[in-house]
Chains A and B, each alone.
Chain A
Amino acid sequence: MHVRFLVAGDTALAVEFGDRIERALSERVLRLSAAVRASATPGVLETVPTYRSLMVHYDPLATDSAQLVAAIEKLLDSTREVAQETRLWRLPASYAAAHAPDLEAVAERTGFSTGEVVRLHADTCFHVYMIGFVPGFPYMGDLPASLVLPRREDPRVKVPAGSIAIAGTQTAVYPIESPGGWHLIGATPIRLFDARSARPSLLRPGDQVRFEPVGASDYAAICAAVEAGDYQVCCETVRA
């Protein structure tokens, strides 16, 4: 597919691969992001992968748009499809009513029982497309087609931290309390973002995530362990 370079002022350049939410596009974005970072192209400050494009932020005193386009074109030629290793996270999740204010409504609207909605969600291995909205907020997909719903008509002013939510083809975890219009179907005790850490976000674009249902007593125990700082989130390396 044709790659477009979109000028975003004199400090950023968007490299656009398409205009859909699609795994194949995301893989290309992530490959280019890794290649740009590895290349140490002068003037590049950081790269931000999104669903279908890579935002390259640069210092206009160290490079310019034309030089950057030329450098990235070269990298596009050299980035081939190679099997990459990715991280698979298993996040404990409670789908209990207390943590899932919208689960009943989602079940009703999709024609499933609440148990079936949970099973469909927990049986899916999600891909982290991008992180945005607030620090550490992962946009993950794809949700089974039978669970796809538009956002709530009435967004909440406050969504509790840890809420697991769905909207469209996506699922997410709210890392901090924030306003939100997604349907809340569960919660995880895991902290997705810690500004005191040098690597503040648990997840990175390109990671995989599975939600593992836990009962009330396990959930409470994990909460306590997270609070005490001695909970290790399960993470393994898999071939993408």
Chain B
Amino acid sequence: MQALEVVAPGPHTTVQDLGRIGFQDVGVPASGALDRVSLRLANALVGNRPGAPALEMLLQGPTLKVLADSVRVALVGCSAGIEIRSGSGRSVPAGRSVRLTRGEIFRVGALGDSVCAYLAIEGGPDVPQALGSASTYVRGCIGGLHGRRFRKLDVLPLVRGAADVRPERMLPRPFDLELDQPVRVVLGPQADYFTDEAVHTFLSSEYTVSTQADRMGYRLEGPALAHAKGYNIVSDGIVSGAVQVPGSGRPIVLMVDNQTTGGYPKIATVISADIPVVGRRRPGRAIRFLAVEVHEAERLRRAQEAALQQETDAIRTFE
């Protein structure tokens, strides 16, 4: 057998990749990692292709036992590290790969500042592609490990039964969680459904991520936003990052498991470069929004890709 046994699942651990394309017209959201930047870096550390499936953990990580000759794993996206229980115990910080052998038990504890983090496994988990992706969409029971979050005693099969003996890798610098960076948005598609004052309030106030935050959306606390033309629209399409404002006036940032269509007006849309930034922000954390034009959003995304490539190229090996 080549697998990882789930000794303790953590509150919400799932398999995610870069998401599912092509089924939103039949109501299946894109899903995928809340923080695709961390997913890609974690994969790079273990030598996987950037979009390989990895384990996404929310708030706290799982405890796992190695049921393979060896595995190589790497954690990115949080300040916590990998705690290895065997022997006298040791800890490997986030941003470094480590090779573990059969029978070893390791865990990722409370994630700290960030709400999500990614554990990549050399070769990846061996889960079937569902509608072209390994990502788990829990509400639809699609993809990942049995279409759901991990449970105690689950066995996650692995593609590889042994990890190569080679120098380990580390990120060139500590990973920036961007916890205080303003979140950039493009106004619309329905900014005209709000009063000018509401748009101003949205862009000038501090909001807080509420405890009602999951992969579908992060509900925010803060000043209510007044609708100018009511809070019902004839349903239209929704994209991840859309900031939807229901009748309560409290905005919700729709995330990767968002419904594909909906009937509330959307005051703004988080730019794609900043979806991971929102994704990491845990309940209680502040969020401020900054409006940019769409061409600027496109430029920022290209810049992010270039920076990510640089970061990946700069990954160092160490002994």
Contacts and interface: CB of A to CB of B under 8 A. Distances in A.
Interface of A: 6-12, 14, 16, 19-21, 33, 45-55, 57, 60-61, 64-66, 130-137, 139, 176, 193, 195-196, 198, 200-201, 203-205
Interface stretch (B109-117, B151-159, B196-204, B262-270): B262-270
Contact of A133 (B21, B142, B259): B259
B239 A61 contact: no
B28 A9 contact: no
Nearest to A21: B234
A61 B237 CA distance: 21
10 contacts: A7-B186, A9-B186, A11-B239, A49-B25, A55-B237, A61-B301, A66-B295, A200-B28, A200-B131, A201-B23
Contacts of B188: 6-8
Interface residues of B, number: 47
Contacts of A47: 25
B189 A7 contact: yes
A65 B305 CA distance: 18
B236 to A, nearest CB: 5
Contact of B24 (A19, A57, A198): A57
A136 B239 contact: no
B314 interface: no
Interface in B189-247: 189-190, 233-242
B307 interface: no
B294 A7 contact: yes
B26 A200 contact: yes
The 5 closest A-B pairs by CB, nearest first: A55-B237, A132-B261, A9-B269, A201-B26, A6-B189
Contact of B271 (A10, A48, A134): A10
B226 to A, nearest CB: 20
A57 B29 CA distance: 12
A33 to B, nearest CB: 8
Interface in B149-194: 185-186, 188-190
Nearest to B192: A6
Contact of A50 (B235, B271, B295): B235
A9 B269 CA distance: 5
B259 A132 contact: yes
B25 A135 contact: no
A19 B190 CA distance: 12
A17 to B, nearest CB: 11
Contacts of A55: 24, 236-239
A52 B236 contact: yes
Contacts of A65: 294-295, 298
Given A201-B27, A204-B25, 17 more contacts: A8-B266, A12-B237, A14-B189, A46-B23, A47-B25, A52-B236, A60-B298, A60-B301, A61-B305, A64-B294, A134-B27, A135-B26, A135-B28, A176-B140, A200-B28, A200-B131, A205-B25
Contacts of A133: 27, 259, 261
A53 B140 contact: no
Most buried by B among A7, A201, A205: A7
Given A21-B234, A52-B236, A195 B130 contact: yes
Contacts of B272: 9-11, 60
B90 interface: no
Nearest to A19: B234
Nearest to B242: A8
B22 A45 contact: yes
Interface string B251-295: 000000001111000100111100000000000000000000011
Contacts of B143: 195
Contacts of B266: 8
A54 B236 CA distance: 8
A186 B305 CA distance: 51
Nearest to A203: B26
Contacts of A204: 25-26
A46 B298 contact: no
A200 B302 contact: no
B302 A61 contact: yes
Contacts of A196: 130
